């Protein structure tokens, strides 16, 4: 499993004009292939009179799902260069749609490849990317006497506190890099005089 991956920082778009044709690249994070497909459909609906709405998306930290469409442009001149740009920039869980309004000047195959791939690259530069790190989900159970100070200590040391639940005991959900589990277990025992328990759960990704 990948230790980390990059994705687009936020949804947005970037427009450029090449030989009188408008190229509008819309980017959005997409957690699943369905989310990517929904985003593509939404952009197409926003630009019903466009000459083309070409797309590419990459889902999975290991890029296990990759799809691209030329949407009527000559084969391999739109969706594939868009996909190549996403892969070259190593962004994942992202969908890109480049909407073209034809301006009357043909660009040729090479020009189209540069225009579509370049639109995605410029949009990534404009919107920025963020890195997400793989974490082990863990739950700390501790008595009320130690809970407040423990939560403060966790936040002060930069731990990813995800949720705090108060009941008979207090449960603090956190994220831990795998490499930190052993050291953190020893720190927790020391910090709570052995009164806290740590239960490890599944894995997730979070912001670095």
Give the pair of three-digit tokens for residue 9.
């920082």
Ordered structural domains, the chain, with CATH: 4-127 (3.30.230.30), 132-207 (3.30.70.240)
Please give the share of the chain, as a percent, with pLDDT higher than 90: 80
- Residues 91 and 87: their CA atoms lie apart, in Å, by 6
Position 134 scores a pLDDT of: 80
Write the pLDDT tens digit of every residue in 35-69: 999 999 999 999 999 999 999 999 998 999 999 99
Secondary structure percentages of the chain, helix, strand, coil, to 5: 35, 40, 25
């Amino acid at each position: 499993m990948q230790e980390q991956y990059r994705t687009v920082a936020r949804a947005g778009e970037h427009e450029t004009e090449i030989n009188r044709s408008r190229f509008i690249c819309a980017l959005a994070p997409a957690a699943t292939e369905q989310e990517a497909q929904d985003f593509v459909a939404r952009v197409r609906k926003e630009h019903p009179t466009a000459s083309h709405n070409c797309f590419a998306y990459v889902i999975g930290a290991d890029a296990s799902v990759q799809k691209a469409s030329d949407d009527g442009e000559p084969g391999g001149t739109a969706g594939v260069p868009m996909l190549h740009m996403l892969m070259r920039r190593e962004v994942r869980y992202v969908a890109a749609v480049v909407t073209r309004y034809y301006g009357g000047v043909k660009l040729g195959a090479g020009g189209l490849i540069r225009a579509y791939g370049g639109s995605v690259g410029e949009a990534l530069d404009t919107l920025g990317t963020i890195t997400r790190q793989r974490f082990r989900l863990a739950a700390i159970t501790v008595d009320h006497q130690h809970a407040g100070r423990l939560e403060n200590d966790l936040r002060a040391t930069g731990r990813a506190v995800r949720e705090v639940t108060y009941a008979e005991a207090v449960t603090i959900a956190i994220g831990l890099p795998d490499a930190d589990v052993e050291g953190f277990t020893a720190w927790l025992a020391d910090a709570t005089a052995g009164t806290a328990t740590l239960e490890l759960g599944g894995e997730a990704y979070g912001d670095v």
